[in-house]
């Protein structure tokens, strides 16, 4: 199901019947989402977000709902909690379709700004500050659905690795991340794709963090790098003032360790390569959206630009 899945009022009502809800009086398709078709559903029982999976397998979707349930139980206030069907299932089945149902949250994706970055930084800091239980170890690892430093380096020697990806990575990281990989950073549940457009804001404040499709157990620093690389943007470039604002918000909740601060800029570049590799797997090698088959290249350029900015700043400081 690589294209947008279209349903009507009757089909939406029948899906909500699986939850003991409905009937549906209004149905609006939402443009948000790549792996899902999303609908705003108004029924007698309230307003709901109906998601139909276009890309993920059923087990992967179930694993994502387990993480969202775990986060709700741990008190994370920004994630959505999946509604259960009458059979107690977190993922519904309807004919050939399957998906999830959430309470609808009013809000809009923000544009990059100092306040946006501070708020998203704080939301990510809260995610990384949760008190975990032994149940954490039953949840999936991030590398099952995303790409950390080790996975990226391993991919460089894969026959399917595009030459421009490999050349760019080795230009940005001539040592292939040897120093970074020598350290074990603090781990917990990470989002894996917290760009600013995966949030909703209401009255200029963050009210929801969306799309935990690449979430799992992983290193907080990798998650931070991914989020910084896709949130602190101006004219398509990662800029330091917005990075500083993001870190200010993040550290109101969780202070970065000295080691994490040492490798923060590397983590931002790793974040760009991580999402670039995700796009290669989904769009270039996969068939999710052929029109985006070359979209990974903009992230390679962003990584090169950020590394060049760091080099210029370093040279300027040395001259002073």
Do residues 232 and 242 touch, judged by C-beta distance below 8 A? yes
Element at 28 (helix H, strand E): strand 24-30
Block mean pLDDT (10 aa), the chain, length 320: 72 97 93 76 95 88 97 97 97 95 94 95 98 97 97 97 98 96 97 96 95 97 98 95 98 98 98 98 86 95 95 58
pLDDT at 2: 39
pLDDT at 135: 97
Do residues 277 and 296 touch, judged by C-beta distance below 8 A? yes
pLDDT at 32: 57
Topology alike, domains 12-103 and 114-319: no
pLDDT at 314: 60
User: What is the pTM for the complete model shown?
Assistant: 0.93
23: cis peptide before it, omega within 30°?
yes
Q: Is the dihedral of CA 270, 251, 207, 215 positive or negative?
A: positive
Task: Return the domain boundaries, the chain.
Answer: 12-103, 114-319
Q: Which class for 130: exposed (0-12), middle (13-18), buried (19 or more C-beta within 10 A)?
A: middle
pLDDT at 315: 56
Question: Which residues contact residue 167 at a Cβ distance below 8 angstroms, ignoring those fewer than 6 apart?
Answer: none
Alpha-carbon torsion angle 149, 78, 232, 146, nearest 10:
20
**Domain 12-103 architecture:** 2-Layer Sandwich (3.30)
Do residues 34 and 185 touch, judged by C-beta distance below 8 A? no
pLDDT at 108: 92
Do residues 132 and 189 touch, judged by C-beta distance below 8 A? yes
pLDDT at 33: 59
pLDDT at 34: 64
At 71 the three-state DSSP class reads helix
d(CA 233, CA 239): 6
CATH no. of 114-319 = 3.90.1200.10
Q: Is the dihedral of CA 66, 70, 253, 113 positive or negative?
A: positive
């Amino acid at each position: 199901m690589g294209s947008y899945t279209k349903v009507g009022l009757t089909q939406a009502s029948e899906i909500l019947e699986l939850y003991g809800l409905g009937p549906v009086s209004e149905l609006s398709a939402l443009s948000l989402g790549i792996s899902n078709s999303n609908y705003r559903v108004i029924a007698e029982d309230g307003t709901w977000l109906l998601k139909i999976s276009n890309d993920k397998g059923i087990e992967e979707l179930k694993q994502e709902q387990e993480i969202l349930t775990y986060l709700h139980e741990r008190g994370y206030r920004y994630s959505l909690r999946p509604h259960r069907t009458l059979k107690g299932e977190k993922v519904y089945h309807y004919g050939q379709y399957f998906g999830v149902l959430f309470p609808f949250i009013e809000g809009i994706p923000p544009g990059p700004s100092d306040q946006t970055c501070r708020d998203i930084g704080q939301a990510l800091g809260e995610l990384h500050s949760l008190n975990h239980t032994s149940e954490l170890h039953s949840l999936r690892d991030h590398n099952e659905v995303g790409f950390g430093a080790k996975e990226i380096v391993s991919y460089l020697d894969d026959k399917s690795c595009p030459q421009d990806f490999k050349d760019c990575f080795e230009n940005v990281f001539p040592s292939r991340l040897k120093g970074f990989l020598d350290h074990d950073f603090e781990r917990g549940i990470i989002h894996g794709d917290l760009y600013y457009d995966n949030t909703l804001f209401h009255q200029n404040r963050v009210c929801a963090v969306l799309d935990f499709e690449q979430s799992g157990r992983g290193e907080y620093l990798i998650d931070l790098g991914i989020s910084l690389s896709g949130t602190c943007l101006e004219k398509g470039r990662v800029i330091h003032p917005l990075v500083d604002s993001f870190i200010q918000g993040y550290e109101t909740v969780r202070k970065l360790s000295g080691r994490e601060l040492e490798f923060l800029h590397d983590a931002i570049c790793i974040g760009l390569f991580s999402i670039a590799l995700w796009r290669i797997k989904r769009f270039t090698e996969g068939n999710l959206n052929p029109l985006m088959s070359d979209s990974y290249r903009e992230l390679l350029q962003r990584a090169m630009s950020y590394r060049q900015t760091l080099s210029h700043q370093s040279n300027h400081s040395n001259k002073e």
